[in-house]
Structure 1
Amino acid sequence: MCVLPAGELARKYGRRAAFMAGTGAGVLTGLLATIALYIDSFWLYCLSALLGGAYAAVALSFRFAATDGVPENKRPQALSMVMAGGVAAGIIGSQLVTHTMHLWSDKMFAATFIAQAIGAALAGVILFGVKLAKPLANQAYSGRPLRTIALQPRFISAVICGAASYMVMNFLMTSAPLAMHMHGHSQESANLGMQWHVIAMYGPSFFTGKLIARFEAARISVFGIILTAISAAIGFLGEGVYHFYALLILLGIGWNFGFLGASALVLETHKPEEKTVLNRLVTL
């Protein structure tokens, strides 16, 4: 719901305005989720999750903002370096959950959501110092119609690869901790599995850009989808903790190649003056 409004906000007022709106939603996510747990309100919790999606819609545009002002041959590396920040998130995020989930004794995860709100607020402070030029009027409205861009075979291929990578990763990632719990594994084991999954998602970003430059974005994206399919197959082999770990790690690597490859492919399908309207469409 928030991808297009976030893109429109960035087009009119600059990327920083969109960044600040997104981090504001991120802070509200944690605060409302905490209140929802405290008063046992499922619908308030759903609202907090909706705001979390708004935060994600903005955060996923960071990779495109990183390509602004970067020479064309350096764009894949710029994309990769932004995504590589997820390595720190994989370590900090999972450990944050492990060490805060029981701090509020009678409301599990309530303290975790407070910590998440603080993390979003800190990110907002950093993003406030980012200075990116507001698109000029002729940049914002020039270029080919969105329909013309979107109907290019190369663009369609990028969208299919990106959507497949993201969809399968999201389904398996969100269900794996619940499945681990149902099969008798501890919450700490599930947190550790998610830590390695997120590290696997973003760790390859240190060299994915170079692989894209060498082997082309389309090939890297297809290879990522193949790895994602293999990770799904591992889920049928057993229910032990290491089956889940192997699934999550390979899933993360597959997503990195598939999604970054698709993102780089998108950058090859539009002109500089078309980037704002296109990024609104492909952020997710």
Structure 2
Amino acid sequence: MSMSAAASRSQSVRNIGLLSAVQALGGSNSSIVMTVAALAAVSFAPDPAMATLPVTTSILGLALATQIATRLIYRLGRTRGLMLGAALAIPAALLAALGIILANFIIFALGTFLIGATGAFVQQIRFAAADSVAPDLKSRAISWVLFGGVAAGFFGPQLSSITRNWIPGSEYAASFLVIVVLALLSIAVLSQTRLAPTVVANGTTGTGRPLRVLLRQPEIVLPMIGASVTYALMTLLMVAAPLAMVRFCGHSPEEASGAIQWHVVAMFAPSFVTGAIIRRIGAHLVTAIGLVLIIICAVIALNGISVGHFTLTLILLGLGWNFGFIGSTSMLTAAYRPEEAGRVQAVNEQVVFGSSAIASIGSGLLLQFIGWQAINTLAIPVAAIAIGLLAWGDLRRRGAPGMAA
């Protein structure tokens, strides 16, 4: 290995480590919202049934901000763009904390909406990592960055629990002030990264293929389908599960919390090895395995409503999300040219998180009208269709219709 190649590889590893830390810090923001927003809002919501609305507004904020976040990152550069996203979390968190202190539901929901919007920048970290390392490290970079989500899954709930009563008379207000500290730490870590420059199309480099042409390419559309189906099904089942456990199956809130914690661990812990698995068997197959795991989790849910059934269902759901989401992202990052990255990533994020927002809104309604088991029955054919499309795409890519993936 030449000296320059060794230096480049060393910088790639450094970027992966730093971005993993940023993922852990930024991911803790959404973890805090998911853990305590409903608990904080229930005492001053217009109706207790509306207590989960701030969680939904955060997901909507993420979905609606994806294109703006992507464009800003490509206009300002990856490091400065991600630093801007972290900085915007500061006023958003202050607004959410103010809403709790004033017992103003609208202000609080607006604060969580804006925190969700800053999450659109956090979601770009995986692309920043993939585009800033050598090609043979892309899938590993995505996996290691998302591995930072394991820390986020523990940091967010723990920090929010420790600080919940730090402001007397305003339970959980200090939990949102923690986000200010996390944002400042994110900015400090990002300042140490050396990320690949964004490529802006011009007359010299070429503009790349038009978006209408890109969206007719199976190698671009199929990863978007894989990621959006994986994310939407994960959101649909994850949001419905604790409600089903407590309201319809008679389990305790503590049991529901424990099942969700195992789900979060299962979502991110496999990232330690997912990249290596992708390199060995390919992103198409890993994505399909993820969707198969979601089908298996739905089958388990259809066979019982004990705490064990729910916990195993959510663990397999987390594993399925990890394989499906990382596999789809790896497929997508290999399908476009550098000058096309901004427009492809913007559309992908809008499709994926728009689907997730719809699933989040629909989850409670579907649970109320058709029930937990019917939701799981619905998930099976949706995942199966996505698997079929991936299989077709892989056969097409190999150019040998008689060969299996």
**TM-score over 0.5 for the pair:** yes
Q: What is aligned with 1:91? A: 154
Alpha-carbon distance, 1:44 to partner:
1.6
Match of 1:212 among 266, 278, 290: 278
Give the aligned residue type for 1:42: F
Q: What is aligned with 1:127? A: 190
**Contact 1:90-1:197 within 8 A present in 2 as well:** no
Alpha-carbon distance, 1:49 to partner:
2.3
Structure number with greater Rg is 2
- 1:136/1:92 Cα in 2 relative to 1: closer, same or farther (>3 Å)? closer
2:215 is aligned with 1:150: yes
Q: What is aligned with 1:17? A: 80
Where 1:143 maps in the other structure, the secondary structure is: coil
Match of 1:81 among 122, 129, 144: 144
Identify the range of structure 1 (7-16 vs 117-126) with the bigger mean alpha-carbon deviation: 117-126
- Looking at structure 2, the residues matched to 88 and 134 of structure 1 have their Cα atoms a distance apart, in angstroms, of 28
- Looking at structure 2, the residues matched to 189 and 98 of structure 1 have their Cα atoms a distance apart, in angstroms, of 17
Match of 1:61 among 119, 124, 139: 124
The Cα offsets for residues 13-54 of structure 1, whole Å up to 9 and x where unpaired, read as 101222122212323333222221222222222212221221
Number of aligned pairs?
Answer: 284
2:61 is aligned with 1:2: no
Q: What is aligned with 1:271? A: 337
**Contact 1:231-1:248 within 8 A present in 2 as well:** yes
2:236 is aligned with 1:171: yes
- 1:102/1:232 Cα in 2 relative to 1: closer, same or farther (>3 Å)? farther
- Looking at structure 2, the residues matched to 103 and 224 of structure 1 have their Cα atoms a distance apart, in angstroms, of 41
- Looking at structure 2, the residues matched to 103 and 189 of structure 1 have their Cα atoms a distance apart, in angstroms, of 26
- Looking at structure 1, the residues matched to 178 and 136 of structure 2 have their Cα atoms a distance apart, in angstroms, of 39
- Looking at structure 1, the residues matched to 172 and 246 of structure 2 have their Cα atoms a distance apart, in angstroms, of 15
- 1:187/1:31 Cα in 2 relative to 1: closer, same or farther (>3 Å)? farther
Q: What is aligned with 1:260? A: 326
Identify the range of structure 1 (187-196 vs 223-232) with the bigger mean alpha-carbon deviation: 187-196
- 1:80/1:136 Cα in 2 relative to 1: closer, same or farther (>3 Å)? closer
Alpha-carbon distance, 1:227 to partner:
1.1
- 1:48/1:185 Cα in 2 relative to 1: closer, same or farther (>3 Å)? farther
**Contact 1:90-1:194 within 8 A present in 2 as well:** no
RMSD in angstroms over aligned alpha carbons? 2.4
What is the TM-score when the length of structure 2 is the normalising length?
0.64
Residue identity over aligned pairs, in percent, reads 36
Give the aligned residue type for 1:30: A
The Cα offsets for residues 93-121 of structure 1, whole Å up to 9 and x where unpaired, read as 23223434455564443332222332233
Alpha-carbon distance, 1:187 to partner:
4.5
- 1:236/1:110 Cα in 2 relative to 1: closer, same or farther (>3 Å)? farther
Alpha-carbon distance, 1:178 to partner:
3.9
- 1:24/1:38 Cα in 2 relative to 1: closer, same or farther (>3 Å)? same
Q: What is aligned with 2:107? A: 44
Q: What is aligned with 1:223? A: 289
- Looking at structure 1, the residues matched to 198 and 278 of structure 2 have their Cα atoms a distance apart, in angstroms, of 28
Give the aligned residue type for 1:257: F
The Cα offsets for residues 107-162 of structure 1, whole Å up to 9 and x where unpaired, read as 44333222233223322222233233443544786211122122111222111110
- Looking at structure 2, the residues matched to 184 and 218 of structure 1 have their Cα atoms a distance apart, in angstroms, of 40
Structure 1 residue runs of 5 or longer lacking an equivalent are none
Give the aligned residue type for 1:279: Q
Which is bigger in relative contact order (C-alpha 8 A, separation at least 6)? 1
- Looking at structure 2, the residues matched to 45 and 236 of structure 1 have their Cα atoms a distance apart, in angstroms, of 37
Give the aligned residue type for 2:184: A
The Cα offsets for residues 196-246 of structure 1, whole Å up to 9 and x where unpaired, read as 222211111111111112221111111111212332343344444333322
- Looking at structure 2, the residues matched to 228 and 38 of structure 1 have their Cα atoms a distance apart, in angstroms, of 41
Identify the range of structure 1 (3-12 vs 133-142) with the bigger mean alpha-carbon deviation: 133-142
